[in-house]
Amino acid sequence: MKLKWGSAVALIVFTSAAHAQSSVTLYGVIDSGLFYQSANAANFQSKVNLGHVFQLKDGGIYSSIWGLKGSEDIGGGYRVNFKLQGAFNSSNGRTGLADVPGATAVFSQQTTIGMSGSFGAIDAGRQIVPMIYAMADTDVRSAQYFGSILTGWLGLNQAAGWQGLSTNGPVGALYDDNAIVYRSPKFYGASLALEYAPGGTAGQFQGGTRESAVLQYSNYGLNLAAVYYNGHDTNPFTQTGPSTIVTAPTTGLNNNQFYYLGAQYTFHDFSVSSSYSRARNPTNASGPRGFTLEMFSGGLGYKFSPSFKVTSGFYYLHDRNVGANHSAEYALGAEYSLTKRTLTYAQVGYVDNHGNMSQTITYGAPVPEGRSSTAAMIGIRHSF
């Protein structure tokens, strides 16, 4: 009897220990607020001004999300990790954009499995590409959805003909399908991220492929980032009518190249950032090697207390081939943390577009080509 009880206790202890080595977490964020914009368009390529809008809008800071993530210790300092994450619109419950127009994507942002250890980490699947994290780390506005390096970069995509039908854009990428990403450990503040995404197209080895490299340094209050992104068969979808979507053939054409250099320095509670970007415009490749689109950015921020901070940013875009195509955006925001999980914010922005530029003030609220617009938003963001 003693032997049986001893065996049962040992089994329970062993099972508990094994279970404790793995974990699964359900998490999410809801971000919603009241939004006003003075000039609005039906889509990113429209020249028609539909007038003022006042609405309940998702994503004043970042999109609302929900997801599952987990990790299992397999011994020797190694872990197997997975992450499933999708965006949704808190004002109407719709899911985020997929890589194909009209497709439904429950987990529209990340569907990865991978391994981590002393070597760093490697993940495979659809995921947020390393360049976006690097840009956020070198922007005082942290690549937010409202007036930041993110909306400036989206402006470059719009200038290159992106219609916003899917997450495939002609300049860089926010998400990549089929991606394999390696992230190194930090070495004296320096780290490296490498991405390769095979296209999986029969008969075209380079068809739809993506590759990128990101070098970062973070130490003593200084963040530095250098980004290289290269893609084949980018922006394959064009809408020619209300319900007509044309898919371009996969040929392996190397038509998506983007370079970025950024820096941010924080001294005590004061932060300053600056960056320079250059991109190939697939619709107008007559400039030097086709790199006709440029972006300059600058930002200032101050943290008045651990709970309250104010940030500002300036984002200037221009086309080197067509001097009339340029855009300047200004953004100012204040954030106050009520608790560790709940944040309130107020933001205001102004964009001045010329030519065929249609840089937006906030993601998901198109501004007509060549028009100026003012926007403001107050909201709340809660994580769980």
Domain membership of residue 145 (yes or no) is yes
Phi, psi of 343 (to 5 degrees): -125, 135
Strands 254-267 and 222-232: antiparallel
Domain membership of residue 143 (yes or no) is yes
Give CA–CA dist 327/384, Å, rounded.
Answer: 38
3-state secondary structure of 140: coil
Domain membership of residue 167 (yes or no) is yes
Domain membership of residue 4 (yes or no) is no
Strands 254-267 and 78-88: unpaired
Question: What are the C-alpha distances in Å from 272 to residues 142, 232, 311?
Answer: 12, 35, 10
Residue 337 burial class via C-beta count within 10 angstroms: exposed 0-12, middle 13-18, buried 19 and up: middle
Domain membership of residue 290 (yes or no) is yes
Give CA–CA dist 286/279, Å, rounded.
Answer: 13
| 369 closest CA partner among 353, 349, 350 | 353
- Residue 243: count of CB within 10 angstroms of its CB: 7
This prediction has a pTM of: 0.90
Count how many domains the chain has: 1
Return the pLDDT at 99: 85
| pLDDT tens track for 82-108 | 999 999 999 999 998 888 887 778 999
3-state secondary structure of 384: coil
Domain membership of residue 1 (yes or no) is no
Range of the domain at 251: 23-383
Domain membership of residue 11 (yes or no) is no
38: CATH = 2.40.160.10
Domain membership of residue 10 (yes or no) is no
Give CA–CA dist 320/63, Å, rounded.
Answer: 33
| pLDDT tens track for 204-217 | 899 999 999 999 99
| pLDDT tens track for 6-27 | 444 444 434 444 444 689 999 9
